[in-house]
Structure formats: structure tokens, C-alpha cells
Amino acid sequence: MERTYLMIKPDGVQRGIIGLIIHRFESRGLKLLGLKMMQATEEILAEHYAHLKDKSFFPSLLAYMTSGPVVGMVWEGSQAVSVCRTMLGPTNPCTANPGTIRGDFALISSKNVIHGSDSVENAEKEIQLWIPGKNAQK
């Protein structure tokens, strides 16, 4: 069993597709362990997106991610990290296959609806960063 951190971004919340997105992971057989709706701060985003801090789009990424609430979630299942990444589709939704979340609900990288951890190690870091406390601990 593996855990991953998924986060519905502000565009997903604003468009009212939280339930639809959650339904996909539940249907796949993954288990929802924790969920938190929150306003992301620039501080937490700077840590979460530290690998992108020198990119030209970083300021607009911060503006987008703070434009409304996000829904952070911890999901558990067999190979949850890679299974969920496949269900998300690639970063650039233009290249995402229909049937993936980004392929069905997004068109541009800067508004791609959902985040998913890219490794088991990063998943554990992100869970502790976004949903610290008892419910999200192993």
C-alpha cells in the first residue's frame, strides 16, 4: 500500500468539479484517508513548488494557486503515486489523453485542475506539508 497527495487547484474548486474528481479515484478503488479545504499561502507554495522557483511562470503560478481555495487530499492504494499520476495526465493538458482528468477538464498548463505527487518520497513530504497531524500520519 502506498499513499499520495492530490490537490484540486482553485480552478477545479471554482468550476464545481470536486465531487466528480473524487468520484474517479473512489471508482478506481483508492481510499480517501484525509481531505482539507484551505487557502494556500505563498509560504507553503514556495516549499511545495521549490523545484520551480527559478521558472518565469513561478509568479503567475503563485497568483493562480492563491486565487481561491484548494482541496488537499491523501489517497491510499496499490502503487497510488503512479496510478494517480496516470489518472491526472501530463502537466500540459494539450497532450493529455481523454479519460484523464487533465485530458477531460483542462486545456493549458497554467490551469491544469489538479496536483499529484510524483514520487513516494515527495508524497510523504507533501502530506506532512499540507495536512499535518494525526489523520495524515502513517
- Residue 112 binds to ligand DAT (criterion: CB under 6 A): yes
DSSP assignment of 82-101 equals HHHHHHH--SSGGGPPBTBH
Which region among 16-24, 33-41, 74-82, 109-117 touches ligand DAT (by CB under 6 A)? 109-117
Cell (9 digits) for 127: 502530506
The binder of ligand DAT chosen from 33, 109, 122, 125 (CB under 6 A): 109
Cβ nearer to Mg ion, comparing 23 with 57: 57
How many CB atoms sit inside 10 A of residue 129's CB? Answer: 14
Cβ nearer to ligand DAT, comparing 102 with 136: 102
Rounded CA-CA distance 28/137 in Å is: 23
Please give the residues from 60 up to 119 whose contact with Mg ion meets the rule CB under 5 A: 118
Cβ nearer to ligand DAT, comparing 60 with 137: 60
Report long-range pairs for 132-137 (Cβ below 8 Å, ≥24 apart): 135/33, 135/34, 135/74, 136/33, 136/34, 136/74
- Residue 110 binds to ligand DAT (criterion: CB under 6 A): yes
Which residue number has the CB closest to ligand DAT?
A: 91
Catalytic (active site) residue 115: yes
Rounded CA-CA distance 72/81 in Å is: 15
Q: Which of 23, 48, 51, 115 is catalytic?
A: 115
Please give the residues from 44 up to 83 whose contact with ligand DAT meets the rule CB under 6 A: 52, 57, 61
Rounded CA-CA distance 112/73 in Å is: 17
Cell (9 digits) for 83: 496510478
Binding site for ligand DAT (CB under 6 A): 52, 57, 61, 91, 109-110, 112, 115, 118
Which residues are known catalytic residues? 115
